């Protein structure tokens, strides 16, 4: 995380540094991103940068956390996601669709996220804390689904939360393989519909009791 000297900066100066860092990490993958370009665009001395952050990884981790916070704020602003009595599976699809809309409205954030997801080593270094937050959020969502009667009680809660989080990532990866950018399409909605159907109804053929 940034040093206290960064948080002591005026809000306008912090925003410039954050915006320049986002721009850099959106254009280049982590290894190609340059601190020199960031400090030049931010109009700060390179020595000052190291008074604010330990290194590039420290800055990148902060930007990922910043994006995660903005995404949660976006979800909080969606009135439909405040309906706690909504069917669990309808809510889950609405949540995934909101995630797509967030990516569409924030293409730089989406670009950074896609680059991070493709970098296994980097993701493991910085994703722990975010994964914990996502895991806790999904567990609460499942618990709400259980309270509403949409989700059965006798499930492994931690495993279910883990699977849902990574299914969401896999859905995005599958979509992004055939698209240059995030955009709301019938194809994406078909993918989310299919995923919700599998989650809700499973893959077992219930019309035939005979095991094959």
User: Tens digits of per-residue pLDDT, 58-73?
Assistant: 999 999 989 988 988 8
Query: Is 165 in contact with 131 (CB distance < 8 Å)?
Result: yes
Please report the pLDDT score of residue 31 as a whole number.
94
* pLDDT of res. 179: 67
Domain count, the chain: 1
Q: Can you give the pLDDT at residue 1? A: 83
What is the tens place of the pLDDT at every residue in 103-144?
A: 888 999 988 988 887 787 887 777 766 777 788 888 988 998
Q: Is residue 209 part of a domain?
A: no
Digit-by-digit pLDDT tens for the chain (212 residues) are 899 999 999 999 999 999 999 999 999 999 999 999 999 999 999 999 999 999 999 999 999 989 988 988 888 887 767 776 788 998 888 888 888 888 888 999 988 988 887 787 887 777 766 777 788 888 988 998 999 898 999 899 999 998 888 887 777 777 666 666 666 667 777 888 888 898 888 888 877 655 54
Please check whether residue 189 lies inside any domain of the structure: yes
In a domain, 115, yes or no: yes
Q: Is residue 211 part of a domain?
A: no
Answer for the pair 2, 53: CB distance below 8 angstroms, yes or no.
Answer: yes
In a domain, 19, yes or no: yes
Instruction: List CB contacts of 13: < 8 A, sequence separation 6 or more.
Output: none
Domain range spanning residue 148? 4-201
Selection from 11, 8, 134 nearest residue 69 by Cα: 134
DSSP for 144-162, written as a single string: HHHHTTSS-SSS-HHHHHH
pLDDT of 212 reads: 46
Asked if residue 59 is part of any domain, the answer here is yes
Question: Does 134 reside within a domain?
Answer: yes
Question: Is 208 contained in some domain?
Answer: no
Instruction: Tell me how far apart the alpha carbons of residues 99 and 45 are, in angstroms, rounded to a whole number.
Output: 37
Helix, strand and coil content of the chain, in percent to the nearest 5, comes to 75, 0, 25
The CATH number given to whatever domain includes residue 193 is 1.10.357.10
Q: 3-class SS at 179?
A: coil
């Amino acid at each position: 995380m940034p040093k206290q000297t960064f948080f002591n900066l005026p809000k306008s100066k912090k925003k410039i540094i954050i915006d320049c860092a986002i721009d850099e990490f959106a254009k280049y993958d982590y290894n190609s991103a340059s601190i020199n370009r960031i400090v030049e665009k931010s109009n700060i001395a390179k020595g000052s940068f190291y008074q604010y952050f330990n290194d590039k990884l420290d800055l990148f981790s902060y930007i990922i956390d910043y994006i995660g916070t903005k995404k949660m704020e976006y979800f909080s602003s969606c009135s439909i996601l405040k309906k706690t009595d909504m069917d669990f599976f309808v809510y889950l699809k609405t949540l995934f669709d909101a995630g797509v809309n967030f990516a569409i409205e924030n293409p730089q954030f989406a670009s950074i996220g896609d680059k991070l997801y493709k970098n296994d080593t980097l993701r493991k270094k910085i994703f722990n804390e975010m994964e914990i937050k996502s895991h806790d959020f999904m567990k609460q969502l499942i618990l709400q689904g259980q309270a509403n009667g949409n989700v059965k009680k006798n499930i492994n809660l931690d495993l279910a939360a883990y699977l849902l989080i990574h299914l969401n990532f896999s859905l995005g990866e599958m979509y992004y393989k055939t698209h240059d950018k995030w955009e709301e399409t019938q194809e994406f909605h078909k993918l989310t519909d299919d995923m919700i159907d599998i989650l809700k109804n499973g893959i077992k053929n219930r019309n035939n009791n005979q095991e094959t």
